[in-house]
């Protein structure tokens, strides 16, 4: 009884707090940094589309603004609500993935989209924050001594592997790997002991070649093989990487200047409005511009990690770090791909690449981070108690 009353007292410290106080309490540094990243995105899309606002830059700007609104709304919602909704969100995302499986739209040989009348949804994107929510909740609820236990591991494995299998089947290798990595990192953060980590690492080393042989589509295999041996396909997949490197390299230290990139003007780098937008930054703003862009990303990531430190609840911590992980992995994979360090998989540069769903999903994630920060004093129930 006392616990309950204490709980009630502590759980809604800002229950009476007005909207103004909530807004005041938000960590505004994060939205500010995100706005800067979004602005870079708008600028670079503007350049990539040869200075035509209507070819993406304007839409991107609108999306960033709208998504930031969504982010603030999400931030204002009590973390408890998100905690409560975490499994339902996961289940909805899963249902949507099943929906894609049966009713999805086939674009370029892969079935990733769901047509819901006015909006086209990419459920695999929704799954990205959803899995973080679900795992955070799972570990929040799981007694810490169970984390490394077989049962504990099995639950996490189920949560991760079902969406993975569905997304791989679309097929979308990039997102699958991203999801896997995010999941593994959350499991790691949750405190799984090192012995289990090493053993699963070993297991992966066995599984990967098998997976490569049987689990991949032909074009995915080709992409990976091309990455390791670019001469295999000089005009196809490796053309992408070669032209991408030329764009970056020819930018030099200072770049060719805004709107002056010749690789870009010549449309040598395909998809430079979306996945390969970093080539435009590299070509037009050079090493300095590229480094500054990466620097801002590092600031965002660092801020998020710092926020996670401020939070007490396991759910909040894992939620923040999980979302940050997804965000970081996006950046790693995208930059690695653009610089020729990773195979070409369709992963966008978050908030800079053109693409509505990703912006919305990332902003939603940041909204959850802000909400966790805003409601850092809210105590969440632990069912294992």
Partner 1 sequence: MKIPEVSETETINRRALFLGAGAAGVFSILATRLFYLQVTKAEDYRVLSEDNRFNYNLLVPARGDIRDRFGERLAINRQDYRVELIPERTKDIDATLDKVEKIVPLSAAERKRILKDVKENSSFVPVLIKENLGWPAFSKLNIRIHNLEGIIPTVGSVRSYPNAGIFSHTLGYVGRASSAEVEEDRDPLLRQPTFRTGKTGVEAAMEKDLRGSSGRLKVEVNARGRIVREWPDPQTQAKAGSDVFITLDAQLQRFAAEQFIDADGETDSGGVAVIDVITGEVRTLLSMPTFDGNLFVSGLTQNDMNSMNNDPKRPQFNKVLGGGYPPASTYKMVVMLAALESGLIDPANPIFCVGKVRLGNRNFHCWSRRGHGPMTMRQALKNSCDSYFYEIAHVLGIEKIANMARRLGLGQTYDIGVAGQRRGIVPDPEWKQGRLGTAWRDGDTFNTAIGQGFTLATPLQLSVMCARLANMEKAVVPSLLIGQELPAFSNLDVNREHLAFVNEAMWSVCNEPGGTAYKPNGLEIPGHQMAGKTGTGQVRGISTSERDSGVRKNSKLPWKLRDHSIFVGFAPYDAPRFAVGTIVEHGGSGAKRAAQISRAVLAEALRRDGLGTTPVSDSDAVNETPTGANNTIGGVSGRNGTSSSSNLPPRL
Q: Which residues lie near partner 1 (CB under 8 A)?
A: 143-145, 185, 188-191, 243, 245-253, 262-263, 265-268, 270, 282, 286-287, 290-291, 294, 298, 301-302, 305, 308-309, 312, 314, 317-318, 321, 325, 328, 332, 335-336, 339-341, 385
Q: How far is the CB of 325 from partner 1 (least distance, A)?
A: 7
Distances in Å between the alpha carbon of 281 and those of 178, 329, 359? 24, 19, 19
Nearer to partner 1, 51 or 252 (CB): 252
Please identify, using beta-carbon distances, which residue of 106 and 384 lies nearer to partner 1. Answer: 384
For 58, counting Cβ atoms within 10 Å of its Cβ (0-12 exposed, 13-18 middle, 19+ buried), the class is middle
CB of 247 to partner 1, least distance (A): 7
Q: Which residue has the tokens 């830059």?
A: 57
Q: How far is the CB of 154 from partner 1 (least distance, A)?
A: 20
DSSP notation for 241-264: HHHHHHHHHHHTTT-S-TT--HHH
Residues forming a β-bridge with 111: 106
Give min distance, CB of 365 to partner 1, in A: 16
Nearest CB to partner 1, comparing residues 216 and 301: 301
SS3 350: coil
CB contact set of 123 (below 8 Å; sequence gap of 6+): 93, 96, 97, 99, 100, 114
Choose between 87 and 188: whose C-beta lies nearer to partner 1: 188
- For partner 1, the closer of residues 22 and 146 by Cβ is 146
Torsion of CA 64, 70, 75, 78, to 10 degrees: -170
Q: How far apart are CB 265 and partner 1 at their closest, in Å?
A: 6
Shortest distance in whole angstroms from residue 369 CB to partner 1: 13
DSSP 311: -
Q: Closest approach of Cβ 87 to partner 1, in Å?
A: 21
Return the number of the residue (124 or 244) whose C-beta is nearest partner 1: 244
Give 181 or 224: the residue with its C-beta nearer to partner 1.
181
What SS3 class is residue 106?
strand
In whole angstroms, give the CA distance from residue 192 to residue 378. Answer: 26
């Amino acid at each position: 009884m006392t616990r309950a009353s204490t709980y009630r007292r502590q759980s809604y410290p800002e229950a009476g707090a007005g909207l103004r106080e909530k807004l005041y309490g938000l960590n505004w540094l994060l939205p500010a940094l995100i706005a800067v990243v979004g602005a870079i995105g708008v600028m670079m899309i503007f350049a990539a589309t040869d200075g035509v606002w209507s070819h993406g830059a304007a839409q991107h700007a609108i999306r960033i603004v709208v998504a930031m609104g969504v982010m603030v709304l999400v931030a204002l919602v009590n973390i408890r609500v998100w905690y409560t909704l975490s499994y339902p969100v996961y289940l909805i995302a899963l249902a949507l993935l099943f929906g894609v499986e049966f009713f999805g739209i086939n674009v370029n040989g892969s079935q990733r989209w769901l047509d819901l009348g006015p909006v086209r949804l990419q459920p695999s994107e929704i799954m990205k924050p959803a899995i973080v929510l679900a795992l955070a909740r799972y570990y929040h609820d799981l007694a810490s001594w169970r984390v490394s236990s077989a049962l504990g591991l099995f639950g996490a494995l189920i949560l991760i592997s079902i969406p993975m299998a569905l997304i791989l089947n679309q097929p979308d290798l990039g997102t699958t790997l991203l999801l896997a990595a995010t999941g593994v990192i959350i499991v790691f953060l949750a405190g799984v002991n090192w012995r289990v980590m090493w053993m699963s690492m070993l297991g992966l080393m066995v599984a990967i070649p098998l997976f490569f042989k049987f689990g991949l589509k032909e074009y995915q295999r080709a992409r990976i093989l091309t990455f390791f041996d670019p001469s295999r396909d000089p005009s196809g997949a490796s053309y992408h990487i070669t032209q991408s490197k030329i764009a970056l390299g020819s930018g030099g230290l200072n770049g060719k200047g805004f709107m002056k990139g010749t690789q870009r003007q010549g449309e040598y780098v395909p998809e430079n409005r979306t996945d390969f937008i970093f080539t435009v930054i590299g070509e037009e703003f050079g090493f300095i511009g590229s480094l500054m862009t990466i620097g801002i990303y590092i600031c965002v990531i660092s801020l998020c990690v710092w926020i996670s430190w401020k939070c007490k609840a396991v759910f909040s911590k894992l939620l923040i770090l999980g979302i940050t992980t997804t965000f970081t992995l996006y950046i790693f994979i995208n930059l690695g791909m653009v610089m020729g360090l990773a195979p070409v998989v369709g992963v966008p540069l978050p908030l800079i690449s053109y693409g509505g769903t990703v912006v919305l999903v990332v902003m939603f994630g940041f909204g959850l981070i802000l909400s966790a920060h805003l409601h850092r004093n809210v105590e969440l129930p632990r069912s294992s108690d």
